[in-house]
Chain A
Amino acid sequence: MTDKPSKKHDARPPDPPDDVGENDRPTLNPPFDVEAFARVASAPSEQPRAPSDAPTNRPPPPAGAAEFGLEPRTDRITLTDEIELEKARAQSMARSPRALTSSALSMANARSPSSPHVEPIGASPEGDGPAPVAAPSSIEAAVLDAIGESAPPEITERTIEDPVAEMRERFSLGDYTGALEMSELILAEEPEHLDATECGENCRTVLENMYAARLGSLDRVPMVVVPRAQMRWLSMDHRAGFVLSLIDGSSSVEMILDVSGMPKLDALRILHELVQQKIVSFR
């Protein structure tokens, strides 16, 4: 089994000077210079790429990252909790386009089961579709544009020789999202696979309970706290947009789960993210 660390973005902000520590980095007073940030974020890195087997140095966050809700990194490696892990995984899945290889199971191939991908009419398979509606005046839009202009992410595939063992291992390590991904990949190849079915169900139950616990009682009524006029400048995908459209200030979380038509886990995950992003709050 080969395992190469993947390089997510070629374009990343330059490292800070050596004498500036993680905690004594100068902070920018709001409003910070969005255009400067966008230029920095989209500029190609001049740093030579690290070889694949070399230890990875974590780059510091770009200046102004704190303003986007990104927590500053520390030198100590901390274990993330399952919710954070799950969130990162979901974001990663949403970002990277996936293509299934014919038979070998690949880590990069996991596909969210209920995220329909609609090909643009007349668009090339490479995805040269029309540009989305942009908001030149908004901070989020500027940042998104900057990220959008950067080079596409490089995807590295990892072939798994024994997916069932991998699934079990992940489950035993508490990586339920990873185990669920593996079970879905196995079931895609072998729909009657009992172990994968059972493990997938268990993972789903654990993850659903986890998100439900984070959201509190399912009787709670969520409300959209972002003004309608500003909503389009938020950063979210169409599935989150759909869940957001179901929040009417009178429907409880349970009702939203019922009407979303999505797998419960997906709907819970999206709702949790909307709450985390402070787009939605509870009464």
Chain B
Amino acid sequence: MEKVIGIDLGTTNSCVAIVENGIPTVIPNRGGYKTTPSMVAVTEAGKRLVGHIAKRQAITNAENTVYAAKRLIGRKWNSPQVKNSVATSSYRIVQGPHNDVRIVLRDKEYSVSEISAMVLQEMKLIAEDYLGDEVGKAVITVPAYFNDNQRQATKDAGEIAGLDVIRIINEPTAAALSYGFGKNVEKTIAVYDFGGGTFDISILEIGSSGVFKVIATAGDTFLGGEDVDARVIDWLVQGFREEHGMDLRQDRMALQRLKDAAEKAKCELSSVRETEVNLPFIISSGRNEALHLQRTIDRQTLEGLSNDLIERTVDICRQTLADARLAKEDIEEVLLVGGMTRMPKIQLAVAEFFEREPCKGVHPDESVALGAGIQGSALVGDKHDMVLLDVTPHALGIMTQGGYFEELIPQNTTVPTHRTKIFTTSRDNQTAVKIVVMQGESERAEEDELLGEFILTGLRRAQKGTVEIEVNFEINADGIVSVHAKDLETSKEQSIEVTASSGLTRDEIRNMMEGAKDYMVERRSTEEFEAAKQEAERFVGEIERLLPQVEQIVAASDFGRDAIEKARSIVAKARSAIAKRDIATVKGEIEGLSRTHRMFKGVVAKTH
């Protein structure tokens, strides 16, 4: 059966999973971590860094390190989210050629999908290293509130990374899938997802036939564990200032260490009552001496520092339930997702609000990726009861008089689908109508997403409300939305086809794919060379270590001198090939080196 990976492409961390022998498993990266920071950086030397290594230099190389690209993916340049990111990000965000968003790293512009593709490519590599085989297909998760453009941009990112994205699924749905795997669940559940960069609350209905329906979703895309880290950093900086009169924020190296230490302390305080932050030589005193930071932080202090942030998440939960016209009693299970939910204070706050203990059966960091993996496996396997249906993530409709949004296709409608509605003119003698196609849930059209517009002309001059126009919305199996408007009297017709767009053209995507492929070829070749080099250097080292002993042993014989000369020549060739980065020769010399090493070892062993 073909392998399909499930990827949780998170704002701060990503995770990849697969179903092996019927068991969903998270794949660890080379460092042994099950999550990989969704960070991309370019060093001064032009080298691309992805994951933990990018995170470790995120403050010292802040201008060239992208984090939280997910907040920007598929968004238009003038959206409030983008404006917020422009104001708060350390890296440069500029307007793209299609009113999209571009990120500048070392004077080169990248689309957001391209940046996300670098993270996805890393996840693909992690899976390939683990499986020892190429991976082609993937299921990627996105927040439930993502619109079609954001979903398309995520798909494009997958394509650039060399993945065939067979399905995009909602993160809370994936968590619910992981929770319901192997059980026959029929419940209304809440998924409280407090991650590193965002907070989401979703209410889902799990039906008996395996239907997962998102009833309501809300959140804050600028609220996450990083805000808690920032509070701990503030606390440490303030303490240091009081003790030494120096501001650690003035030094990037100090700030980088503080950031790492704050995050570590926060994580530790989920399991211990107090922990020590010990950062020797953190900053120069300006008198040829370095000062040390050593402070103990306890759980109570951390809770005090993050109390208002936790309260904000509870307020969002309250509002979401109210909007969905649900009572707390309607929620039969609460799933905790995201690393922050390990914090005891958060677990307590959730339990208090929902008046029930949250479920401990799902892994906060892994459940979303596991759900995606389960879905991927079901899509290519025979477990069709677990297959999710493609639904419209948001309602579709048109703008009507007064700036209102008239819904034609409701949210969560299974595709393909079509709906028709009759509208009339709003002014006397109106000869044309403008059909503005929108997506969203707000009654105010201005708060929804504009998908496209067209004008139907040649209407009969008549009193307002008498000319009837039939508007038909149709979504095909590929998710393409067609909108037709027809004057029922004259049968005159106009239409528009709306395709979700990431803001990239096909040509741009193709070029980016080529770039990503080239990068992979180069990276694989470098890795191959490094592996061969290490092996060759190991043999060279061993041979050189044994050489004096062997020389002494075989000095008397001509044959021995010949062997020594040959050994020297092989070592010299290997060294030269390593210096020239000639992978073929290095690989070719390994056998000779190995033989020489064996021979030398044998000679030495015989004489002892």
Verify B61–A132 contact, CB threshold 8 A: no
* Contact yes or no, B290 A132, CB < 8 A: yes
Is B98 an interface residue when CB atoms closer than 8 A count as contact?
A: no
| CB proximity to B under 8 Å, residues A217-245 | 217, 219, 228, 231-232, 234, 236-242, 244-245
Residue A260 lies at the interface, judged by CB distance under 8 Å to chain B: yes
Binary contact track B532-547/A, C-beta < 8 Å → 1, others 0: 0110010000000000
Contacts of B47 in A (CB 8 A): 258
- Tell me, rounded to whole Å, the shortest Cβ–Cβ distance linking A25 to chain B: 29
B252 contacts partner chain A, Cβ-Cβ < 8 Å = yes
State A261–B257 Cα separation when bound (angstroms).
13
Q: Is B496 close to A, CB under 8 A?
A: no
Bound-state Cα–Cα, A132 to B290, Å? 7
- B304 interface residue (CB < 8 Å to A): no
> Quick check: B284 and A258 within 8 Å, CB to CB?
no
CA–CA, A242 and B43, complex, Å: 18
Determine whether the beta carbon of B245 is less than 8 Å from that of A123. Answer: yes
| B281 contacts A259, C-beta separation under 8 Å | no
Contact with B along A256-277 (1 / 0, CB 8 A): 0011111110000000000000
Is B289 located at the chain interface by the 8 A CB criterion? yes
> Shortest beta-carbon distance, A134 to chain B, in Å?
10
Q: Does B53 count as interface, using CB distance less than 8 angstroms? A: yes
Task: Tell me whether B60 and A261 are in contact (CB under 8 A).
Answer: yes
Query: Given A118-B251, A238-B251, A242-B257, A127–B281 Cβ distance below 8 Å?
Result: no
B57 touches A261 (CB 8 A): yes
Task: Find out whether the CB atom of A232 lies under 8 angstroms from the CB atom of B281.
Answer: yes
Q: Which of B57, B243, B287 has the most CB of A within 10 A?
A: B287
B379 within 8 Å of A (CB atoms): no
Determine if B420 is an interface residue (Cβ-Cβ < 8 Å): no
Is B253 within 8 A of A127, CB to CB? no
A contact residues, total (Cβ < 8 Å): 45
Q: A127-B286, A238-B254, A245-B279 are in contact. Are A219 and B533 (CB under 8 A)?
A: yes
A259 x B56 contact (CB < 8 A): yes
A236–B530 Cα distance when bound, in Å, is 33
Given A219-B533, A259-B57, also A245-B283 (CB < 8 A): no
B291 close to chain A: CB less than 8 A: yes
CB atoms of B530 and A219 under 8 A apart: yes
Q: Which of B53, B250, B290 contacts A236 (CB 8 A)?
A: B290
Task: Look across to chain A and name the residue whose beta carbon is closest to the beta carbon of B288.
Answer: A95
Given contacts A238-B282, A255-B53, contact A261 B61 (CB under 8 A): yes
B316 within 8 Å of A (CB atoms): no
Which residue on A lies nearest to B293, using beta carbons? A133
Query: A238 near B57 (CB under 8 angstroms)?
Result: no
- Whether B533 pairs with A261 at a CB distance below 8 angstroms is no
Residues 1-39 of B, flagged 1 when their CB comes within 8 A of A and 0 if not, give 000000000000000000000000000000100000000
B280 within 8 A of A: yes
Is B278 at the interface (CB under 8 A from chain A)? Answer: yes
Interface of B is mostly: mixed
Q: Which of A122, A129, A217, A239 contacts B286 (CB 8 A)?
A: A129
Most buried by A among B60, B257, B291: B291
Contact mask for chain B residues 404-415; partner A; CB cutoff 8 A; 1 contact, 0 none = 000000000000
User: Is A130 positioned at the interface, with any CB of B under 8 Å from its CB?
Assistant: yes
- Residue pair B31, A250 in contact (C-beta under 8 Å): yes
A234 vs B286: C-alpha distance when bound (angstroms): 18
- Report the bound CA distance from A132 to B534 in whole Å: 44
Chain B residue numbers with a CB within 8 Å of A129 are 244-246, 285-287
Say whether B241 faces chain A, with CB atoms less than 8 Å apart: yes
* B253:A239 contact, CB within 8 angstroms: yes
A119 to B246, CA, bound (A): 7
Which residue of chain B is the closest to A147 with respect to CB atoms?
A: B288
Given A132-B290, A132-B291, A261-B252, A121 contacting B247 (CB threshold 8 A): yes
Cβ of B48 to closest chain A Cβ, rounded Å: 10
Nearest opposing residue in chain B for A96, CB measure: B288
Residue from A95, A118, A240, A262 whose CB has the most chain B CB atoms within 10 Å: A118
Inter-chain contact B253/A118, CB cutoff 8 Å = no
Q: Mark B289-301, 1 if CB is under 8 A from A, else 0.
A: 1111010000000
B45 within 8 A of A: yes
Please report the C-alpha to C-alpha distance between residue A239 and residue B60 in the assembled complex, in whole angstroms: 12
Bound-state Cα–Cα, A132 to B61, Å: 28
A194 at interface, CB cutoff 8 A: no
Q: Is A72 an interface residue, CB under 8 A from the partner?
A: no
In the complex, whether A28 has a CB less than 8 A from a CB of chain B is no
> What sequence of 0s and 1s flags, for each residue 124-145 of chain B, a beta carbon within 8 Å of any chain A beta carbon?
0000000000000000000000
Q: Give Cα distance in the complex from A228 to B279, angstroms.
A: 10
* Cβ contact within 8 Å between B287 and A127: yes
Interface string of A180-220 (1 = CB under 8 A from B): 00000000000000000000000000000000000001010
**Interface residues, chain A, with chain B CB atoms under 8 Å away:** 94-95, 97, 115-123, 127, 129-130, 132-133, 144, 148, 217, 219, 228, 231-232, 234, 236-242, 244-246, 250-251, 255, 258-264
* A-B contact sample (20 more), CB < 8 A, given A129-B245, A133-B291: A118-B247, A118-B251, A120-B245, A120-B286, A121-B241, A130-B243, A133-B292, A217-B537, A237-B281, A237-B290, A238-B291, A239-B253, A241-B281, A242-B256, A242-B257, A242-B281, A258-B53, A259-B53, A261-B57, A261-B256
Q: Ordered nearest first, which 3 A-B pairs have the shortest CB separation?
A: A241-B281, A261-B60, A259-B57
Could you pull out 29 A-B pairs where Cβ atoms are within 8 angstroms?
Answer: A116-B250, A116-B251, A116-B253, A117-B286, A118-B247, A122-B245, A127-B286, A129-B246, A129-B286, A130-B244, A132-B285, A132-B290, A132-B291, A144-B289, A148-B287, A219-B533, A234-B281, A236-B290, A237-B281, A238-B253, A238-B283, A241-B282, A245-B257, A245-B279, A258-B49, A258-B57, A259-B56, A261-B252, A264-B45
